[in-house]
Homo-oligomer: A and B are copies of this chain.
Amino acid sequence: MSLTDSRISLAHGNGGRFMRELIDEVFARHLANDALDTTVDAARLALPGDRILFSTDGFTVQPLEFPGGTIGSLAVHGTTNDLAVAGGDPLFLSLNAFIEEGFEAALLERIVVDLARSAAELGVRVAAGDTKVLPRGQGGGLYLATTGIGVMRHPGALGLNEIREGDALLVSGPVGDHAVAVLLAREQFGLRGEIRSDAGSVLPLTRALRDVPGLRFMRDPTRGGLVSAAHEIARATGLEVILDEPTVPVRPPVRAVCDILGYDPYYLACEGRVVAVMAPEAADHALSAWKAAPGGADAAVIGRLQAPRNGGAVALRTELGGLRLLEELEDDPLPRIC
């Protein structure tokens, strides 16, 4: 990177030469593709009519680089995962960067390179972008937002309103890896570990279910984790979600960190997992499809939906056979985890 200075200055956001150089030398250079033209006000896209999907996400993770990813790859995967669980393939992204004055230019470039690589791996093109530079002390380093356009590919209907009593709940892999990896990377707890974030694209997983009949609904359990996804399902359907604790995959080191810090892994964010609701007779088919797909080796059937009879929307059947209500997350903030 040939920026005059090695740190971002307010002049990199003022609309003049420095801003143009920042955009050309960092963003446009690494994100180059035939849909991106930094001299136009709006990109011209060809899209297939009435099956368009549209989604957006903001990214504030701290630290910006963590085991298994960066805020750059996360910004690609977060938004494209939302398109994927809606049944689509991602096509285009826009990118907003809010950069704090004084931010290290080399770190910005590493992040943009990671973002560009992640987009290229998915065949997704960044077609529009904007940068703003924030005065020192008003920015927290770097925030990103991405907005994605995709095309619906799932042949049938998908949605919360497709869910029926008796349906099975599946998860594509262990929960909580992302949140714990980010927490440990902050080094504020004096804990060290080998835990990598699960951050990544779920597209291989959602595509694996495209030909499986009986798929009702998918969601990626990000902020608020598995329990928050379950509460969304319960609230929308009026059904009760019963999770079968021994079947919910949690890596032993993740459980160990949770035990030490007092977190419940079922509330912790994943960034590369999918929760799927399947017709009961289709659950095994879906499980096999996931186990054969990249990232799905530890997939499991973890629960079912039933008419309410335990006085709570989401409950965990424990190893000992007891039932523990899992309340909706309230005041347990883990800021800047995603």
Q: Which residues of A contact B (CB under 8 A)?
A: 9-11, 13-20, 39-60, 82-83, 85-86, 88, 92, 94-98, 101, 127-135, 137-141, 143, 145, 147-150, 152, 159-160, 219-220, 222-225, 228, 232, 236, 269, 328-336
**Whose C-beta in chain B lies nearest to the C-beta of A236?**
B39
Judging by beta carbons under 8 Å apart, are B49 and A94 in contact? no
Measured in the bound complex, the distance between the Cα atoms of B11 and A276 in whole Å is: 26
Measured in the bound complex, the distance between the Cα atoms of B16 and A273 in whole Å is: 18
**Which residues from chain B contact A14 at a C-beta distance below 8 Å?**
223-224, 329, 332-335
**Copies held by the complex:** 2
Known: A49-B48, A86-B40. Is A60-B16 also a contact (CB below 8 A)? no
**Whose C-beta in chain B lies nearest to the C-beta of A220?**
B41
Measured in the bound complex, the distance between the Cα atoms of B56 and A129 in whole Å is: 6
**Whose C-beta in chain B lies nearest to the C-beta of A54?**
B43
Measured in the bound complex, the distance between the Cα atoms of B128 and A15 in whole Å is: 28
Least distance between A252 CB and chain B CB atoms (Å): 25
- Residue from B53, B145, B336 in contact with A42 in the complex, judged by beta carbons closer than 8 Å: B53
Judging by beta carbons under 8 Å apart, are B55 and A42 in contact? yes
Judging by beta carbons under 8 Å apart, are B17 and A328 in contact? yes
Judging by beta carbons under 8 Å apart, are A11 and B45 in contact? no
Judging by beta carbons under 8 Å apart, are A52 and B46 in contact? yes
**Which residues from chain B contact A86 at a C-beta distance below 8 Å?**
40-42, 44
**Which residues from chain B contact A132 at a C-beta distance below 8 Å?**
58-60, 143
- Residue from B17, B94, B223, B331 in contact with A147 in the complex, judged by beta carbons closer than 8 Å: B94
